[in-house]
C-alpha cells in the first residue's frame, strides 16, 4: 500500500515534466513531418532576400514534395499565387516567377508565367500563371549557352548577365500529381531555369561569368541601352 502511495506521489510530481517533455517531442516531430502550418489569412508571405538573416533558405536544396499535396502545401501555393498576382505590374515590372524558398519554405515548388503585356512587348506567346513541383531541367541537343540579363526578388536592386541554356527539356509535376515533360526555349526557358535553380539553392548571381559582375539597376539599364545601340 505504502509503495503504491509513494509511486502515485512520484508520478504526480513527474506528470508536468513528462507532459512538457512529450510536448517538446511532439513539436519536434510535427516540425520535421509537416515543416510548417499555414493559415492563409493570418500569414501574408514575405520575400526572403539574400541580405536577411534567414537567407540560408535560399541556399538549401529544397525538399521534394509528396503527393497527394497536404493542405499546408496547397495553401502555400495559393498564397504564392496571390503574391504574384498582387505584385504584378506594381512598379511597371513583371513578376514572371516565384519559388517557395523565396518566401521562406524549403520545398521544390515554383510558379511561372509570361503575362500578356510582357508577351506582347517581346512578340511571344503568353503563359498563364502555373505551378510546377519537384522539377528539374537539362539542356537539349540544340541548346546553346547565352548570357541573359536577369534580376530576382531575392537579390535586391541588382541585375546581371547570367549564363543560360537557350533550350531546355524540363520535367515536373502539376498540383494534382500529373507528370509534365516539355521543351522550352527563349524567355520561358530562362524563367524556368531561374526558378528551378531556386529550388536547388542556386541564385542567378551564381551564373554570372567571372569577367561580368552584378550591376545596380541603373547601371544595368544603361549597359543594356548601350548594347542595343
Least distance in Å: CB of 77 to Zn ion? 17
Characterize 86-125 residue by residue with b for buried, 16 or more Cβ atoms within 10 angstroms of its Cβ, and e for exposed.
eebeeeeebbbbbbbbbbbbbbbbbbbbbbeebbeeeeee
Please pick, among 195, 210, 219, 226, the residue that the annotation labels catalytic. Answer: 195
Q: Are 158 and 216 in contact (CB under 8 A)?
A: yes
CB closest to Zn ion, residue no: 152
Least distance in Å: CB of 58 to Zn ion? 9
Containing H/E element for 145?
strand 145-152
Note if 195 is an active site residue: yes
Residue ranges in contact with Zn ion by CB under 5 A: 152
Nearest CA to 69 out of 92, 112, 47, 38 is that of 38
Alpha helices, DSSP H, located in the chain: 2-34, 71-87, 116-122, 186-198, 217-227
Nearer to Zn ion, 133 or 152 (CB): 152
Least distance in Å: CB of 110 to Zn ion? 9
Least distance in Å: CB of 70 to Zn ion? 25
Nearer to Zn ion, 152 or 196 (CB): 152
Nearer to Zn ion, 152 or 168 (CB): 152
Characterize 6-22 residue by residue with b for buried, 16 or more Cβ atoms within 10 angstroms of its Cβ, and e for exposed.
eeeeeeeeeeeeeeeee
Nearer to Zn ion, 31 or 93 (CB): 93
- Catalytic center residues: 195
Amino acid at each position: 500500500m505504502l509503495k503504491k502511495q509513494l509511486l502515485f506521489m512520484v508520478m504526480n510530481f513527474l506528470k508536468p515534466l513528462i507532459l512538457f517533455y512529450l510536448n517538446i517531442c511532439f513539436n519536434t516531430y510535427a516540425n520535421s513531418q509537416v515543416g510548417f502550418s499555414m493559415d492563409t489569412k493570418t500569414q501574408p508571405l514575405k520575400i526572403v532576400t539574400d541580405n536577411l538573416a534567414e537567407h540560408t533558405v535560399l541556399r538549401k536544396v529544397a525538399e521534394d514534395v509528396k503527393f497527394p499535396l497536404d493542405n499546408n502545401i496547397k495553401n502555400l501555393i495559393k498564397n504564392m499565387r496571390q503574391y504574384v498576382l498582387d505584385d504584378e505590374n506594381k512598379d511597371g515590372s513583371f513578376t514572371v516567377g516565384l519559388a517557395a524558398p523565396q518566401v521562406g519554405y524549403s520545398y521544390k515548388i515554383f510558379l511561372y508565367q509570361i503575362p500578356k503585356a510582357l508577351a506582347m512587348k517581346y512578340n511571344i506567346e503568353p503563359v498563364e500563371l502555373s505551378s510546377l513541383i519537384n522539377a528539374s531541367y537539362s539542356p537539349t541537343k540544340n541548346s546553346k549557352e547565352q548570357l541573359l540579363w536577369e534580376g530576382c526578388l531575392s537579390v535586391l536592386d541588382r541585375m546581371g548577365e547570367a549564363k543560360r541554356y537557350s533550350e531546355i527539356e524540363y520535367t515536373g509535376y502539376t498540383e494534382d500529381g500529373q507528370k509534365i515533360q516539355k521543351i522550352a526555349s527563349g524567355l520561358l526557358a530562362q524563367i524556368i531555369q531561374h526558378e528551378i535553380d531556386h529550388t536547388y539553392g542556386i541564385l542567378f548571381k551564381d551564373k554570372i561569368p567571372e569577367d561580368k559582375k552584378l550591376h545596380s539597376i541603373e547601371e544595368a539599364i544603361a549597359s543594356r541601352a548601350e548594347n542595343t545601340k
